[in-house]
Chains A and B, each alone.
Chain A
């Protein structure tokens, strides 16, 4: 879950995204995704790292490609980890489980 810190404009608003998670989940390289979206592979990397906020048009193209609503990929608030969102597990739960396994 990355946020855009500083992009072409300098002081752009912070935008978080899940692009890397979605891309890796589908087994796509940056170049492959860039080819599909019609952009340079470096731009995919910059978006993933939060160095660049995509335009609304590009954000829609990305959401259409992944078949997800824009707000599932981009957000002004930090994303919760997927494990927490899907299974309701928090980092504390995971730590406890790992501690139990370690003790057992």
Chain B
């Protein structure tokens, strides 16, 4: 847990879903911007990179904070070991990782399929990542790999019960 202040966060499912959607939308927007950046640089000049870096830092920080809060709001169950979970939490843990594996696997296969088609069938005609964009793609994959189980669990978990309530 990076920020201990989130321990008491108990968000309902609607709020958790909004946060997950906003987080991924931001990352998607930044990614699209980065992929289009060489073209944008042609259009608007080098200052577009400064804008990009200025935008990237707050997005990264907000994502870090929001995923820490999301983890707390589902009782950090995607970070726990199987021995620390009860049977329901364990089934949520397995489902979250299974769905994440499917999403990440599909994304990777689709990306590789596109790469093969673009490289072999339409060389020079379709967009392919170049230079720094490869590293950024890896960063996106790492982000998905590390956040998807929490996002899936936060998306699917029903509303939590008030602590100690009758």
Contacts and interface: CB of A to CB of B under 8 A. Distances in A.
Interface of A: 7-9, 24, 29-31, 38-46, 49, 51-52, 54-55, 57-58
A43 B160 contact: no
B121 to A, nearest CB: 39
Nearest to B164: A31
Given A7-B88, A9-B91, A39-B86, 6 more contacts: A39-B87, A42-B75, A42-B160, A46-B158, A46-B161, A51-B158
Listed residue (B88, B91, B166) with the most chain A CB atoms within 10 angstroms of its CB: B88
Contacts of A38: 86
A45 B87 CA distance: 14
B165 A39 contact: no
Given A8-B95, A46-B158, A55 B164 contact: no
B92 interface: yes
Contact of A52 (B88, B95, B166): B88
B84 to A, nearest CB: 10
B163 interface: yes
B166 A45 contact: no
A39 B77 CA distance: 13
A52 to B, nearest CB: 5
B161 A30 contact: yes
Contacts, number: 52
B166 A8 contact: no
A36 to B, nearest CB: 13
Contacts of B88: 7-8, 39-40, 42-43, 46, 52, 54
B164 A40 contact: no
A29 B165 CA distance: 6
Contact of A43 (B89, B164, B165, B166): B89
Interface in B88-110: 88-89, 91-92, 95
B86 A29 contact: no
Given A40-B75, A45-B161, A46-B158, A30 B166 contact: yes
A39 B161 CA distance: 14
